[in-house]
Structure 1
Amino acid sequence: MSGGSADDGDTAGDDPGDERTGPTAQSTPGVPATKRNRVKSAVLWGAVGGFAFLVLAQGYLLLGGELPFRYAWLFGLAMAVGIGATGITYLAEHRIRAERSKRRT
């Protein structure tokens, strides 16, 4: 078998299906996040915050607690929590990412 086989000179990063080590890895430390990715991440964290608030409120009601307002207010408050979480995440994400990249070096 003197012809070149696929095993000759094979390195770990050559597999195009390997997202972590390939040359086009998108989660490389030190690469700035695009505005679109920051907005998407912030909106998703806002949704998590809003739904987490609703889960906590539902758990409180299941344990026998009473809320001083109706469900419409509860959903409005959950939306406000989600909007707040979105804004805080958007403003703080680049700082957290920068701090993490400093620690890795």
Structure 2
Amino acid sequence: MADDSVEENETEGVADPPGVPATPRARAQSAVLWGLVGGFAFLVLAQGYLLLDGDLPFGYAGVFALAGAIAVASGGIAYATEHRLHAKRRT
């Protein structure tokens, strides 16, 4: 019986071959993660600019609002284009 459970666990970790369409849930999860990457990357760049004695034309509320907009945009772009890249085997 212990051998049967090992065989089942080995098959669960196998990824789909390239060219197989991703499920909507996997695409949405990937898009959310890419959105977070885009938003946090903007925040890091803005903070670095401020640390180097730069001056932004808006306050911290504007920086976070812009980071949120960038996160939504990058997540939307990732969701819209991921299936095309995956179909062409470029992921």
The two structures share one fold, judged by TM-score above 0.5: yes
- Which residue does 1:41 correspond to in 2? 30
Unaligned runs of 5+ in 2: 1-6
Structure 2 CA distance, aligned partners of 1:23 and 1:75?
Answer: 40
1:69 pairs with one of 53, 58, 61? 58
* Code of the aligned partner of 2:47: Q
TM-score by length of 2: 0.82
C-alpha deviation, 1:24, in angstroms: 6.0
Distance 1:47 1:24, change over 3 A: closer
- Which residue does 1:94 correspond to in 2? 83
* Code of the aligned partner of 1:59: G
Identity of aligned residues (%): 57
Structure 1 CA distance, aligned partners of 2:43 and 2:8?
Answer: 42
- Which residue does 2:43 correspond to in 1? 54
1:28 pairs with one of 13, 17, 20? 17
* 4+ residue segments displaced more than 2 Å: 15-18
Distance 1:69 1:24, change over 3 A: closer
SS at match of 2:88: helix
Greater relative contact order (Cα 8 A, min sep 6): structure 1 or 2? Answer: 2
TM-score by length of 1: 0.72
Unaligned runs of 5+ in 1: 1-14
Question: Greater helix percent: which structure?
Answer: 2
Give the number of the structure whose alpha-carbon radius of gyration is greater.
1
RMSD between aligned residues: 2.0
